[in-house]
Chain A
Amino acid sequence: MLVLAGGAAQAAGLPYSLLEKGKRLVDAGDCQACHTQDKRKPFAGGRAIPTPFGTIYSANITPDRDSGIGGWTEDDFYRAMHEGVAPHGERLYPAFPYPNFTKMTRDDVNAIRAYLMSLAPVGDRPPPNELLWPLNHRIMMAGWNMLFFTPGEYKPDPQKSDAWNRGAYLVQGAGHCGACHTPKNVFGADKSGEDLRGAQIQDWTAPSLAANDRDGLGRWSKEDIVEYLKTGRNKLSGATGLMAEVVVNSTSKMSDDDLNAIATYLKDTPPAPDTAPGAPTQEVVDAGKAIYNDSCAACHDTSGVGVPHMFPPLKDNAIAQQEDPSTVVRIILEGAMTAATKERPTPSAMPAFAWKLSNEEIAAVATYVRNAWGNRASPVSASAVGKMRQAINAEKAGPQVAGSGVRINPR
């Protein structure tokens, strides 16, 4: 349903179809993930975005003239989206994924602006960014852009189907999937030639979306991908953490055609070269197995098959076998809640084990899960678990569940 601040929209005299198109693109781009901090003030910004270079606070993109984008012209808005440059020549930081949004057509960008301008203006200003020198000087981004950024709208590949091209446009453009799923270099830019091969973000693993069976989307059919994005789960997995927010706020609202297009494109991604993970010691595997059977098997089953659509199978699980074990370790420590959607309303949650298992025990059980039932991934060290434990403790409260305001905290 289209939610409008009626007065503003009518005053602007904008056609409903344009606003609806803009709303769909705003959903596809999951703009609210960064730009909404307080649900009562949608798109008023101020949400802290932790980056390796410091914390950035998202901008107010409501039509408020002083603190939002109410004073921006269509050209101003397009320039920001297309070039990463604000009206007065201010360079934007690429935490705002203009390297993706540059792929979008002018018509689509205009529609997004039309929708945003129809919202209720909010006069909030985000806190100042907390970035390391010299990055706190926006001019530095000019150099970054020169090295890593080429503006340009998406060029369809005539060899591919319409669905494939639509999928590529959404994945590379509005959806900005690579912002999380593509590995970054030391400057925080995409590593070239490694699109969607998995990365660590905010102490989560954004898994590889390459075609590998072990740690990519190889075992997922097109239908599995569509079901996951639409409902938050499929027989192989369930969306938790940051991806749960993406499903709830963005992909579950997208049309079936667009989800099919995304799946068509993703299923055509080539496999990444397989890494050769180190093997764990038998001692660790034995210890991990004992802990697993005691603490995990009630839901995930001793054979790791879980309960499809409810408790994710761990056998052949791509997230469990990522080179970076962040998500596995994090979920064992603090628990996780699967995205609840209209089709799959059960907010099934795994409880936290941080209070119950030591770093060594969690390392052992994580290593076991990564190497049991034919799984294969490098062992997890107790020190890695300890670091994650500290990182989680550093976040003042527990994780927020899919924008619900509900926090998971063991008692």
Chain B
Amino acid sequence: MAKKLPSVDVVLVGFGWTGAIMGNELTDAGLKVVAIERGSWRDTSTDFAVTFAQDELRYYFRHALFEEPARETLTFRNNGEQTALPMRKLGSFLPGTGVGGAGIHWNGMTFRFLQSDFLARSHNIERYGAGVMPDTMTVQDWGVTYEELEPYYDKFEYLCGISGKAGNLNGRKIDGGNPFEGPRSRDYPNPPLEQVYGPTLFAQATKELGYHPFPGPAANMSRAYTNPLGMTLGPCTYCGFCEKYGCGNYSKSSPQTTVIPVLMRKDNFELRTESEVLKVNLDSSGKRATGVTYVDAQGQEFEQPAEMVILCAYILHNVHTMLVSGIGAPYDPRTGQGVIGKNYAYQITSSVNVFYDDKIMNPFIGAGTMGMLIDDFNGDNFDHAGKGFIGGGYIACWNTGGRPIETHPVPDGTPKWGAKWKRAVAQSYLRTTSVATHGAVMSHRGNYLDLDPTYRDVYGRPLMRMTFDFTDNELKMSQYLTDRATDIARAMQPREIRVNARKGHYSIVPYQTTHNTGGTIMGTDPKTSAINRYLQSWDVSNLFLMGAGAFPQNPGYNPTGTVGALTYWAADAIRNQYLKNPGPLVQA
């Protein structure tokens, strides 16, 4: 029997980026907020201090900062004809757990989506005609525009102290920035990171090819920074341990380095760690959330009543919580009806290794977002007429760090082990860089999330089932990007290249990106979306859902910038509209 606790104004489920930001915004509004986090408390000096942060075995290979599939996982299949099986090891994506969530172990790539990304259906139809998308593509407009989100992108970028260079300041194009980006109201808070040789060669080559290289927008500090909340970050040392690691130098924006200490000082905030929310509770009408039920580390169940519930966990868990709580109609791919689990999407990536004899790249000097990229083939920045696909992606030369156990690129034809392999690794390590593509995944009728009929988790709840594959649109698009990356790699004048194209079915085994999206998508119509433009549940108006689950499809960028912007956007709507008149913010 769950023990019933005193009611609070707001309960947050999950305490990473969105939970921390939402907690800070709503406690500022005077609300009593409780955050419930399944993982443990984590901080820089105790969990990833400079004295041990660069431990590849502990953090990368043994997954010290990621969620444990033995405790919570999902089942997977490529299509509805197959029987899904549990993911027993992490592979393709690495969700976080614990305070700060994946905001601890991200690279820090903090993009804004393109203006046209938010209008993916209407814009593409307007430009290319109604036939550009087959019926099986369930691409939708977002219900919110870039212009509306701009102030909130800005807010998140200044919270984080993003290092970058504007390419479009209030409509004025700036040399050296991204000319394709939507207009910014002001420049980034910090200048771009320094670059090493690989990205420099990439920038030269892409410029010569007529493209528009710009530095990656980085949550790695190019200099010391104090954010609007008074939080101070140190300058990045370019140690090259961002992705899959916590930063020991306070140089990477994370919930811990930018907002949590401010929030933890407040009397109207409480954090409960090592407590897993099992479901959102509804009243008898089914239209109002009464709170959540959670279980703590001792196995004791609690009911936390609240006036508002905000799901702030990773998208996979937000969708799972909705499904097991019975909120909203589950999506059915046969009929196309229902919304929860609809439009699950991902990212499609490829790369080209670039090998030199005479150029030393010093790959060990790196940062999560150190690198140069071009947006010339992202979104609708290029003419798709006759190409047979929509969407695109960026092409980049990153130098996130030459971590020695993980990094050993070798040319084609090298044996997989033995003396020749060792020689090739030794020869190549310093003399190699790579050109990567990072492509959009559009939404398709057959890609979705639902509850597995067979497998259950430790609490007896059905596991979530992921049904996902790359479709023609993605594979054609990725091949197009890979061809462009190959041209660029050749223009960098190496000894040889090695093309790692993404072909065939999606595999959940090799690491690709932790950019899972959709499942609780936002939109303008409750028949086709789970939440409205303010991330408020269409079905239960005192329930809001943060995170990339809101993305109707996944553009060609890393998601965190937009996740942060949407969180501030929703917080603003809650503070300035919802609290004054609780109820649906959009009339269906």
A interface vs B, CB < 8 Å? 295, 298-299, 307-311, 335, 337, 340, 342-353, 356, 406, 408-411
- Select one of B51, B231, B233, B239 contacting A353, CB under 8 A: B51
Contact A351–B50 (Cβ < 8 Å): yes
Dominant secondary structure at the B interface: loop
Q: Is B232 an interface residue (CB 8 A)?
A: yes
Instruction: List residues of chain B with CB within 8 A of the CB of A344.
Output: 230, 232
Q: Is B229 an interface residue (CB 8 A)?
A: yes
Contact A345–B50 (Cβ < 8 Å): no
Instruction: List residues of chain B with CB within 8 A of the CB of A299.
Output: 50, 234, 249
In the complex the two chains form, what is the Cα distance from A299 to B239 in whole Å? 12
In the complex the two chains form, what is the Cα distance from A353 to B235 in whole Å? 22
CB distance from B181 to the nearest CB of A (A): 30
Q: Is B237 an interface residue (CB 8 A)?
A: yes
Contact B51–A295 (Cβ < 8 Å): yes
Q: Is B85 an interface residue (CB 8 A)?
A: no
23 residue pairs bridging A and B, Cβ less than 8 Å apart: A295-B50, A298-B50, A298-B239, A298-B248, A299-B50, A310-B232, A310-B233, A310-B234, A337-B45, A342-B230, A343-B230, A345-B230, A346-B233, A346-B250, A348-B232, A351-B45, A351-B49, A351-B51, A351-B52, A351-B248, A353-B51, A409-B46, A410-B51
Instruction: List residues of chain A with CB within 8 A of the CB of B234.
Output: 299, 307, 310-311, 348
Q: Is B558 an interface residue (CB 8 A)?
A: no
Contact B51–A352 (Cβ < 8 Å): yes
Q: Is B262 an interface residue (CB 8 A)?
A: yes
Q: Is B265 an interface residue (CB 8 A)?
A: yes
Instruction: List residues of chain A with CB within 8 A of the CB of B250.
Output: 310, 346, 348
Contact A346–B45 (Cβ < 8 Å): no
In the complex the two chains form, what is the Cα distance from A295 to B51 in whole Å? 7
| Nearest neighbor of B221 in chain A, beta-carbon distance | A307
CB distance from A13 to the nearest CB of B (A): 28
CB distance from A311 to the nearest CB of B (A): 6
| Nearest neighbor of B224 in chain A, beta-carbon distance | A307
In residues 216-249 of chain B, which contact A (Cβ within 8 Å)?
224, 226, 229-235, 237, 239, 248-249
Contact A298–B261 (Cβ < 8 Å): no
- Select one of A295, A310, A352 contacting B224, CB under 8 A: A310
Q: Is B528 an interface residue (CB 8 A)?
A: no
Instruction: List residues of chain B with CB within 8 A of the CB of A309.
Output: 224, 226, 232
- Select one of B44, B45, B51, B248 contacting A356, CB under 8 A: B51
Q: Is B347 an interface residue (CB 8 A)?
A: no
In the complex the two chains form, what is the Cα distance from A327 to B50 in whole Å? 20
Contact B226–A345 (Cβ < 8 Å): no
Q: Is B75 an interface residue (CB 8 A)?
A: no
| Nearest neighbor of A355 in chain B, beta-carbon distance | B51
CB distance from B269 to the nearest CB of A (A): 13
Contact A298–B249 (Cβ < 8 Å): yes
Contact A408–B265 (Cβ < 8 Å): no
Q: Is B178 an interface residue (CB 8 A)?
A: no
A309, A340, A356 — which one has the most chain B CB atoms within 10 A of its CB?
A: A340
CB distance from B584 to the nearest CB of A (A): 36
| Additional pairs, 20, CB under 8 Å, beyond known A298-B237, A307-B235, A310-B234 | A295-B50, A299-B234, A299-B249, A307-B224, A309-B232, A340-B261, A340-B265, A344-B230, A345-B229, A346-B233, A349-B49, A351-B45, A351-B49, A352-B49, A353-B51, A406-B43, A409-B46, A410-B46, A410-B51, A411-B46
In the complex the two chains form, what is the Cα distance from A350 to B44 in whole Å? 9
In the complex the two chains form, what is the Cα distance from A346 to B230 in whole Å? 8
In the complex the two chains form, what is the Cα distance from A407 to B51 in whole Å? 17
Instruction: List residues of chain B with CB within 8 A of the CB of A298.
Output: 50, 237, 239, 248-249
Q: Is B73 an interface residue (CB 8 A)?
A: no
Instruction: List residues of chain B with CB within 8 A of the CB of A342.
Output: 230, 265
In residues 43-86 of chain B, which contact A (Cβ within 8 Å)?
43-46, 49-52
CB distance from A308 to the nearest CB of B (A): 8
Q: Is B343 an interface residue (CB 8 A)?
A: no
Q: Is B257 an interface residue (CB 8 A)?
A: yes
Instruction: List residues of chain B with CB within 8 A of the CB of A351.
Output: 45, 49-52, 248
CB distance from B100 to the nearest CB of A (A): 14
Q: C-beta contact mask, B435-461 vs A, less than 8 Å → 1, else 0?
A: 000000000000000000000000000
Dominant secondary structure at the A interface: loop
Contact B231–A346 (Cβ < 8 Å): yes
In the complex the two chains form, what is the Cα distance from A409 to B49 in whole Å? 11
CB distance from B404 to the nearest CB of A (A): 17
CB distance from A300 to the nearest CB of B (A): 10
Instruction: List residues of chain A with CB within 8 A of the CB of B265.
Output: 340, 342, 345
CB distance from A392 to the nearest CB of B (A): 16
| Nearest neighbor of A351 in chain B, beta-carbon distance | B49
Say whether, besides A345-B262, A346-B261, A408 and B231 are in contact (CB < 8 Å): no
Instruction: List residues of chain A with CB within 8 A of the CB of B229.
Output: 345
B43, B46, B50, B235 — which one has the most chain A CB atoms within 10 A of its CB?
A: B46
CB distance from B220 to the nearest CB of A (A): 14
Say whether, besides A310-B234, A345-B229, A352-B51, A408 and B46 are in contact (CB < 8 Å): yes
In the complex the two chains form, what is the Cα distance from A311 to B230 in whole Å? 15
| Nearest neighbor of A306 in chain B, beta-carbon distance | B234
In the complex the two chains form, what is the Cα distance from A345 to B265 in whole Å? 8
Contact A349–B44 (Cβ < 8 Å): yes
In the complex the two chains form, what is the Cα distance from A409 to B249 in whole Å? 18
Contact A345–B45 (Cβ < 8 Å): no
Contact B248–A346 (Cβ < 8 Å): no
B44, B49, B50 — which one has the most chain A CB atoms within 10 A of its CB?
A: B49
| Nearest neighbor of B261 in chain A, beta-carbon distance | A345
Contact A346–B257 (Cβ < 8 Å): yes
| Nearest neighbor of A296 in chain B, beta-carbon distance | B50
Instruction: List residues of chain A with CB within 8 A of the CB of B233.
Output: 310, 346
In the complex the two chains form, what is the Cα distance from A307 to B43 in whole Å? 20
In the complex the two chains form, what is the Cα distance from A384 to B237 in whole Å? 32
Instruction: List residues of chain A with CB within 8 A of the CB of B46.
Output: 408-411
A307, A342, A349, A406 — which one has the most chain B CB atoms within 10 A of its CB?
A: A307
Instruction: List residues of chain A with CB within 8 A of the CB of B239.
Output: 298
CB distance from B190 to the nearest CB of A (A): 14
Instruction: List residues of chain A with CB within 8 A of the CB of B230.
Output: 342-346
Contact A335–B232 (Cβ < 8 Å): no
In the complex the two chains form, what is the Cα distance from A295 to B49 in whole Å? 11
In the complex the two chains form, what is the Cα distance from A410 to B265 in whole Å? 24
CB distance from B131 to the nearest CB of A (A): 55
In the complex the two chains form, what is the Cα distance from A409 to B234 in whole Å? 23
CB distance from A268 to the nearest CB of B (A): 31
In the complex the two chains form, what is the Cα distance from A335 to B230 in whole Å? 23
In the complex the two chains form, what is the Cα distance from A347 to B230 in whole Å? 11
Instruction: List residues of chain B with CB within 8 A of the CB of A335.
Output: 45, 49
- Select one of A310, A347, A350, A353 contacting B261, CB under 8 A: A347
In the complex the two chains form, what is the Cα distance from A295 to B52 in whole Å? 11
| Nearest neighbor of A411 in chain B, beta-carbon distance | B46
In residues 237-285 of chain B, which contact A (Cβ within 8 Å)?
237, 239, 248-250, 257, 261-262, 265
Contact A350–B45 (Cβ < 8 Å): yes
Instruction: List residues of chain B with CB within 8 A of the CB of A343.
Output: 230
In the complex the two chains form, what is the Cα distance from A411 to B53 in whole Å? 12
| Nearest neighbor of A335 in chain B, beta-carbon distance | B45
CB distance from B447 to the nearest CB of A (A): 41
CB distance from A154 to the nearest CB of B (A): 35
In the complex the two chains form, what is the Cα distance from A80 to B189 in whole Å? 56
Instruction: List residues of chain A with CB within 8 A of the CB of B52.
Output: 351
| Nearest neighbor of A357 in chain B, beta-carbon distance | B51
In the complex the two chains form, what is the Cα distance from A307 to B50 in whole Å? 16
